[in-house]
Amino acid sequence: MTGIYGASWLLIAVPLAGAIVLLVGGRLLDRVGHLVGCATVIAAFALGVAVFAATASDPATDRIHQVPIFTWIQSGTLNIDFGLFVDPLSLTFVLLITGVGALIHIYSVGYMEHDPDRRKFFAYMNLFVAAMLLLVLGNSFVTLYAGWEGVGLASYLLIGFWSDRPAAASAAKKAFVMNRVGDVGLALAIFLMFKEMGTVSFSGVFAQIGTLAEQSPGTVTVIALLLLLGACGKSGQVPLQAWLPDAMEGPTPVSALIHAATMVTAGVYLIARTSPIYDLTSDGRLVVAIIGTVTLLVGCIGGCAKDDIKKVLAYSTISQIGYMFLAVGLGAGVYALGILLLLCHGFFKAGLFLGAGSVMHAMDDEVDMRRYGGLARKLPITFVTMSCAYLAIIGFPLFSGYFAKDPIIEAAFAAGGLQGTLLGSAALIGAGITAFYMTRLMIMTFFGEPRWKQLKTAYGQDYHPHEAKLVMTVPMIILAVGSVGAGAYLAIGDRLATWLAPSVGPFEEPEPPVSAGVITVGTLAVVAVGVFIAYWIVGRRPVPLTAPMPVTPLVALARADVGGDAINETLVARPGIWLTGTLVYTDAKGIDGAVNGLAATLGGLSGRWRHWQNGYVRSYALSMFAGTLGVILLVLLVRFA
């Protein structure tokens, strides 16, 4: 493979080289670390644009390129190439990752300015970009898995970036372990594919999956469900969602890039990428759609009760990814809708997080929205950019969320029957709750009394909110522009769907039982109700500085992370700790105790011999015993032979 495709390995290599240089270079590079970090990601973006342009100029039938690099693992009939799969779907992600990644890198220059470990931060961010690009560009399930775990590692390092905070350390470990649970699913799916089809490359599996579906349709469903388990872990979907809110312990740019715009959407990528598998299993698709629907509701509910601005956004991310899962679960023809929401979400959620970071920056790292209020005047740029993102996420007409979410709700209704009604209604209600919690966030942060005026920071000083520097606001403005316009640009004329067709199949306009216009109006009405309720509850009277108590059981549940942590604690953590304690005790007292008991018995025996032999034998008596045993066995054996 020559030309621009042959050079596409540089997409991964350049950010990776940046990470390695920054890590190995040590403190020598402290002054320029952020520049190296930004430059490599921007270079990757430029290269991504070039590859994209080359592909777009190819005829639609010739847009999938295999780029072999070297043989990675070969043993027997297992043959895994380290190669790239450059197609419209992977290129879409490449542009998202490097584009949003570059913006967030630039923002971080300002955000992390005073951190003594800024160089390390950029090294990890570069590592993340490289791993994420490997995830989307790899041409086999194993290269995908490598990227998959690689982004998990970068996420671990960045959540735990402020490693001296115990909460950050715990959150990092929790994220990694819960991701690993999902990874087991992905790994088992790979094993099963190899066992059944003898191949683990995308092209090989997609070529054989039809044969497998004829022989054993159940196996295809099992593969689909195992892949889904992996997707749930990475994307914070129920039942593996509990790590994502905790992951907000990381610096805010990390939350924006990894835990909103890119890494957590990897699950959606996985399902869209493996669309040939999901196309063959309606059961598998239905489970995806159900998981997505449950998650979008759980995320919404969790988002309503949090006072920590980043946790609200984290639950919002869980919920939005639920919408994407719902979309890709609806199957053939509408994969593109999931990707459309994913891209729009990349803009508006990254914008919201960067805005939240700007607010925190202004407020001495305060995250409690109850201590904010009236910040619109102090932070005008932040306010305007976040407002654009806000209108996008609630699906305000003509903003990008509108173009993405509305068709998903229509497609859910179009699934037909009870199933369609349930999925569609849940998605509709979710839109209303989204409007509620996002409006609540905006009101508590930017409107009302400036509650911070009466308060002191954690270090006993007054708050002096100020707008961020240009290096931070410019990326926010660009993301705001994307939040406004990306949806229209990508959706009108089915531009994105047509582009993705070679990868995920042609787009089919969903045909809901009632006309699309009715659903659109209905959605807008529900959203309006959500906005109004938020205003009614938080907008009309002063926000109390502490969360009101007591509350209804529903609010209590939402505050308690919708039960996620409690379930993990009861089902996994406590039994695990108990089992560990028991086994450690058994090992020391039981198994080793038996061994030592035997030794002591023999030792007593040898003690007598010692008197007789003047203490010369000592422990070697045991060896005599063992020797006798051996000789007896030998005699037996020889007779046997």
Partner 1 sequence: MNDSLYLPILLLLPLAGSVVVTGMSGAPAKTVKLTALGFSVVELGVAIALWVAYRSSMGTGDTAAPFRETFSVDWIPSFGVSFSLGVDGISLTMIALIAVLVPIVLGASWEEKLPAGRTIGGYFALLLALQAAMIGVFAATDVFVFYVMFEVMLIPMYFLIGAFGGVRRAYAATKFFLYSLLGGLLMLASVIGLYVASGNVLPSGTFDWEALRSIASQIPESTQMWIFAGFAIAFAIKAPLVPLHTWLPDAGAEAPIGAGTLLVGVLDKVGTFGFLRICLPLLPAASARLSWVIILLAVIGIVYGAIVAAGQSDLKRFVTFTSIAHFGFIALGVFAFTTQSIAGAALYMVNHGIATGLLFIVVGMLAARGGSRLIGDYGGVWKVAPLLGGMFLVASLATIAMPGTNSFISEFLVLIGTFTRYPGWAVIATIGIVLAAVYMLWVFQRTMFGPIRGVGVIGDDFGLDARVPVTVGGPAGPSSTGAPEYQPATRGTAVSTAAAVDPAEDSHAAPHSRAAAVRARFGDLTGREIAVVTPLVVLIILLGVYPQPVLDVINPTAQRTMVDVGFTDPVPPAAGPIVGGGQ
Site residues for partner 1, 555-584, by CB under 8 A, read 576, 579-581, 583-584
Q: Restricting to residues 11-50, which ones interact with partner 1 according to CB under 8 A?
A: 23
Please identify, among the stretches 319-327, 389-397, 544-552, 603-611, the one whose residues bind partner 1 according to the rule CB under 8 A.
603-611
* 8 A C-beta contact, residue 37 and residue 22: yes
Give the C-alpha distances (Å, rounded to integers) separating 169 from 131, 150, 162, 248, 563. Answer: 22, 18, 8, 12, 22
Please identify, among the stretches 57-65, 205-213, 417-425, 444-452, the one whose residues bind partner 1 according to the rule CB under 8 A.
205-213
Q: Restricting to residues 69-88, which ones interact with partner 1 according to CB under 8 A?
A: 70-81, 83
Near partner 1 by CB under 8 A: residue from 58, 191, 511, 515: 191
Q: Measured between alpha carbons, how far apart are the two ends of the chain, in Å? A: 64
Toward partner 1, which CB reaches closer, 214 or 509? Answer: 214
Q: Restricting to residues 440-499, which ones interact with partner 1 according to CB under 8 A?
A: 458-459
Q: What are phi and psi of 78, to 5 degrees?
A: -80, 125
Near partner 1 by CB under 8 A: residue from 87, 196, 307, 561: 196
Distance CA 280, CA 213 (A): 7
Toward partner 1, which CB reaches closer, 45 or 269? Answer: 269
| 627 lines the binding site for partner 1 (CB under 8 A) | yes
3-state secondary structure of 267: helix
Toward partner 1, which CB reaches closer, 220 or 389? Answer: 220
Q: Which of 148, 98, 145, 89 is nearest to 126 (CA)?
A: 98
Percent helix / strand / coil, the chain, rounded to 5? 75, 5, 20
Distance CA 35, CA 167 (A): 30
Please identify, among the stretches 66-74, 95-103, 330-338, 349-357, the one whose residues bind partner 1 according to the rule CB under 8 A.
66-74
State the minimum distance, in angstroms, from the CB of residue 108 to partner 1: 20
Q: What are phi and psi of 231, to 5 degrees?
A: -65, -40
State the minimum distance, in angstroms, from the CB of residue 36 to partner 1: 18
Toward partner 1, which CB reaches closer, 187 or 339? Answer: 187
State the minimum distance, in angstroms, from the CB of residue 280 to partner 1: 12
Please identify, among the stretches 35-43, 96-104, 191-199, 402-410, the one whose residues bind partner 1 according to the rule CB under 8 A.
191-199
Q: Restricting to residues 126-165, which ones interact with partner 1 according to CB under 8 A?
A: 139-140, 142, 145-146, 149-150, 153, 156, 160, 163-165
Q: Which of 261, 355, 272 is nearest to 317 (CA)?
A: 261
State the minimum distance, in angstroms, from the CB of residue 203 to partner 1: 6
State the minimum distance, in angstroms, from the CB of residue 341 to partner 1: 29
Toward partner 1, which CB reaches closer, 267 or 512? Answer: 267
* 8 A C-beta contact, residue 293 and residue 326: yes
Toward partner 1, which CB reaches closer, 542 or 627? Answer: 627
Distance CA 117, CA 413 (A): 50
| 208 lines the binding site for partner 1 (CB under 8 A) | yes
DSSP 8-state code for residue 140: B
DSSP 8-state code for residue 469: P
Handedness of CA 405, 408, 412, 413 (dihedral sign): positive
Token pair of 195 as six digits: 């066992």
| 597 lines the binding site for partner 1 (CB under 8 A) | yes
Strand partners, 462: 456
Q: Restricting to residues 98-117, which ones interact with partner 1 according to CB under 8 A?
A: 116
* 8 A C-beta contact, residue 521 and residue 433: no
Toward partner 1, which CB reaches closer, 124 or 335? Answer: 124
| 607 lines the binding site for partner 1 (CB under 8 A) | yes
Q: Restricting to residues 215-254, which ones interact with partner 1 according to CB under 8 A?
A: 215-216
* 8 A C-beta contact, residue 78 and residue 204: no
Which H or E run includes 82?
Answer: strand 78-86
Near partner 1 by CB under 8 A: residue from 514, 547, 560, 629: 629
State the minimum distance, in angstroms, from the CB of residue 136 to partner 1: 15
State the minimum distance, in angstroms, from the CB of residue 550 to partner 1: 30
Handedness of CA 181, 424, 93, 32 (dihedral sign): negative
State the minimum distance, in angstroms, from the CB of residue 164 to partner 1: 5
Toward partner 1, which CB reaches closer, 53 or 634? Answer: 634
Toward partner 1, which CB reaches closer, 112 or 543? Answer: 112
Toward partner 1, which CB reaches closer, 380 or 630? Answer: 630
| 608 lines the binding site for partner 1 (CB under 8 A) | no
Reported residue count of the chain is: 641
Token pair of 457 as six digits: 């920071």
3-state secondary structure of 72: strand
Distance CA 619, CA 603 (A): 7
